Amino acid sequence: MGMRIDFHTHIIPEQLPNFFEKYGQERWPILQPTCSCGANIMVGGKVFREVTDQVWSAEKRIEDMAKEGVCMQVLSPIPVTFSYWAPPHAALEMAVIQNDFIAETVKKYPTKFLGLGTVPMQDSEVAIKEMDRCIHELGLHGLEIGTNVNGVNLDSEQFQPFFEMAEKWNVPLFIHPWETLAKDRTPDHNFMYTVGMPSETALAAASLTFGGVIEKYPNLKICFAHGGGSFPFILPRLDQGWEVWPHLRKTSKPPSHYVQNFYFDSLHYDPLNIQFLIDRFGYEKIVIGSDYPFLLREVPPGRVIDRLQDISSEVREAIFSKNALEFLNIKETNLRYGKQSIDSRR
Ligand SMILES: [Zn+2]
């Protein structure tokens, strides 16, 4: 079956402190146990999501991985914990707890897990400091960031110092939708997940390309959740906008020129969409992502790749594992011995 790395999985510490009690704001996510094998993530007194112990137990995850043919999971925080809305010092505290937990989990099972951290994007200075700690002290492999920060798109001037350092330190960024656009029009039918998230991801990718961030920091490595949402499909329309509105141009070339370092996870469910991604961006830019352990996840991870017709074993192997390692700056030879190394330009 080949080695499969599931690039898109989420984890949270079972002993997450109650920040609502500590800081008083309703928006802090709280983990409220429902049994020994599960909990509710509560936000503002309401159940945000029911979760099982898969979301915190490394051992449980390893059992599932064995069942589903996954050899490694890349661990990232649950976006509801980003806490960009909070005061930076409190959001940093939340980030540190999660980053330490992810680093410990990776350290305990170095042949099973790789880790991405989170940083308080509402304050670039604090975000850069925590990025430094995540990568150079904790040995995490990259960061997960949201598609917007308090409703501000990623091409805003305020995030430029962060992107500058991420590029300088060669820190891979996993961009995950959260606080999706059109929230007022998507509460019904869970459209927030099926329409809001892909549109939100497209807006983030559009901001980075059209908005000039990638032209400024061309070596940034970015992977988009959910296969980039609707971005791959609307890219020609963005180019057309760039063509017909010269006064709006922020870059010397159309947006499609700036996607060379974009990676996409495979969470599109349909092999037709994956074929489209391959044709448009190259098979080297696709990694398996399942959104384990949540309801919309793909089981087993990489199923959509299994269903792709006529791809060579070389392409399959790249999508299954090589591309993820390439994205995360990990040398496969080091991985076999359970020692992970980071190629940092620091
Ligand atoms: Zn996810």
Residue 70 pLDDT > 70: yes
Find the 292 Cα to ligand 1 centroid distance in Å.
8
Q: Please tell me the distance between residue 252's alpha carbon and the centre of ligand 1 in angstroms.
A: 33
Across the range 269-286, mean pLDDT stands at 98
- Of 279, 285, 284, give the one whose Cα is nearest residue 262: 285
CB 12 within 8 A of CB 77: yes
Q: Is residue 195 part of a domain?
A: yes
- What distance in Å separates the CA atoms of residue 241 and residue 214, rounded to the nearest whole number? 18
Assigned domain for 21 exists:
yes
Ligand 1 centroid, distance to 142 Cα (angstroms):
15
Strand partners, 273: none
Q: How far does the centroid of ligand 1 lie from the alpha carbon of residue 167, in Å?
A: 23
* Res 119: pLDDT: 98
Q: How distant, in Å, are the alpha carbons of 46, 122, 128, 133, 185 from that of 164?
A: 38, 16, 10, 16, 35
Query: Ligand 1 center to residue 299 CA distance, Å?
Result: 14
Contact 149, 159 (CB under 8 A): yes
Percent share of the chain, pLDDT over 70: 95
Return the amino acid letter for 90: A
- DSSP states along 200-239: HHHHHHHHHHHTSHHHHSTT--EEEGGGGTTHHHHHHHHH
* pLDDT tens column, 314-336: 999 999 999 999 999 998 766 65
| Span 278-297, average pLDDT | 97
Residue 32 confidence (pLDDT)? 94
Q: How far is the CA of 8 from the centre of ligand 1 (A)?
A: 6
- Tell me, yes or no, whether 110 lies in a domain: yes
Q: Is 240's pLDDT higher than 90?
A: yes
Q: Are 203 and 147 in contact (CB under 8 A)?
A: yes
Q: Tell me the residues surrounding ligand 1 (ion) with CB < 5 Å.
A: 291
Query: 187 CA distance to ligand 1 centroid (A)?
Result: 19
Check residue 333 and give its pLDDT: 67
Helix (H) or strand (E) holding 7, with range, is: strand 5-10
Instruction: Compute the distance from residue 238 Cα to the ligand 1 centre, in Å.
Output: 25
Containing domain of residue 168, as a range? 5-335
For 3-61, what is each residue's pLDDT tens digit?
A: 899 999 999 999 999 999 999 999 999 999 999 899 999 999 999 999 999 999 999 99
User: Does residue 81 lie within any of the structural domains?
Assistant: yes
Q: In the predicted model, what is the mean pLDDT of the chain?
A: 95
Q: How far is the CA of 124 from the centre of ligand 1 (A)?
A: 23
Q: What is the pLDDT of residues 81-108, one digit of tens each?
A: 999 999 999 999 999 999 999 999 999 9
Specify if 183 maps to a domain: yes
In this structure, what CATH number is given to the domain that contains residue 144? 3.20.20.140
**88 C-alpha vs ligand 1 centroid, how far in Å?**
23
Is 346 within a domain?
Answer: no
Distance CA 315, CA 23 (A): 49
DSSP 36-92: TTEEEEEETTEEEEEEEGGGT-HHHHHHHHHHHT-SEEEEE--GGG--TTS-HHHHH
What average pLDDT score do residues 193-213 get? 98
Work out the pLDDT band at 346, boundaries 50, 70, 90. Answer: very low
Cα of 237 vs centre of ligand 1, distance in Å, is 26
Say how many Å lie between the CA of residue 176 and the centre of ligand 1: 7
Q: How confident is the model at residue 345 (pLDDT cuts 50, 70, 90)?
A: very low
Domains in the chain, number: 1
Is residue 341 one of the residues assigned to a domain?
no
> What is the reported pLDDT for 340?
54
Ligand 1 centroid to residue 77 C-alpha, Å: 9
Q: What percent of the chain has pLDDT over 90?
A: 93
Q: Does residue 345 belong to any structural domain of this protein? A: no
Q: Is the pLDDT of residue 337 over 70?
A: no
Residue 343 scores a pLDDT above 60: no
Whole-number Å distance, alpha carbon 173 to ligand 1 midpoint, is 14
Cα(55) to centroid(ligand 1), Å: 12
